[in-house]
Amino acid sequence: MSDTFAIVYSALDRVDEDDQLVEPILRLIPLSGVSIATLGDTLSPETIAASDEQIALLDELQFDLSEGPSWDAVGSGRPVLEEAVKRTGYDSWPSFTEALRDHAVGSIFAFPLRVGPLQVGAVELYDTEERTLDTQAVEAMMSLTRPLSRYVLRRTLELASLPDTAQLKPHARRRIHQATGFVIAQLGLSPDDAHLLIQAQAFAQNRSMSEVAEDILERRTGYVLRDETIEDER
């Protein structure tokens, strides 16, 4: 899988259109279908890309019912692996599982999309049969959530038409640059990802990047790594 994974990761890291998202994932994990959706505390529920109508319907059911594997993956920050969802899903998601009775869905696998502490959404795969994912496949999918999370969040911020940092006054730009350096030092992120995290935090809190930067520099907020997940620390 290593060669295929490298090709797929590189392809997703260069994606600039929604419809380019699904094919690389199915090339790596050849199940019946896949979707990428926003949901959680930060972004409104929306399917960004779906390989077929069935997986799009699974998203819609979860949006409408506010329950399902994707919600649990986003809330926990961990993958949810339902290898026989019609037989085992009732305890966790009774309404969602009941809605699956008339659909050819045997297994569902949901992986969280996050940028730092921000819930971005989930990538969900399904198969018409009961299937399992081995450890290698699960680890590969968790790695793929990194470029997917960045793409989905950047897409959201672009659609929100937020002001360009270059348009800010020099002092504000300098403070944001300094705060970006703090985040890089705390988390070991690339400069682009550290800047994106500050921008996303501002978007989620309906504040300016300058205000978030000041909180970081004055140590009123910060980020820590716990179990390979970045969390907000206040």
- Give 123's contacts (C-beta < 8 A, 6+ positions apart): 25, 34, 35, 36, 37, 110, 111, 113, 141, 144, 145, 148
As for how many domains the chain has, the answer is 2
Q: If you average pLDDT over residues 133-161, what whole number do you get? A: 86
Q: Which helix (H) or strand (E) holds 109?
A: strand 107-115
pLDDT digits (tens, 9 = 90+) for 10-36: 877 777 778 788 988 999 999 999 999
| Across 7-11, 26-30, 208-212, least confident range | 7-11
Let me know whether 182 and 89 are in one domain. no
- The residue out of 125, 159, 193 marking a domain boundary is 159
Quick: pLDDT tens for 127-139.
Answer: 999 999 999 999 9
Same domain, 28 and 97: yes
> Which H helix or E strand runs over 151?
helix 135-159
CB of 187 within 8 A of CB of 194? yes
Task: Output the domain CATH number for residue 52.
Answer: 3.30.450.40
Judge if 110 and 175 occupy the same domain: no
> Both 27 and 97 in a single domain?
yes
169 and 100, same domain (yes or no):
no
Same domain, 99 and 203: no
Residues 91 and 183 in one domain: no
Domain that holds residue 214: 165-233
Q: What is the DSSP string of 20-59?
A: GSHHHHHHHS-SSEEEEEE-SSSS--EEEEESSHHHHHHH
Residues 35 and 139 in one domain: yes
Instruction: Give pTM, 2 decimals.
Output: 0.76
Quick one: pLDDT band at residue 163, thresholds 50, 70, 90?
Answer: low
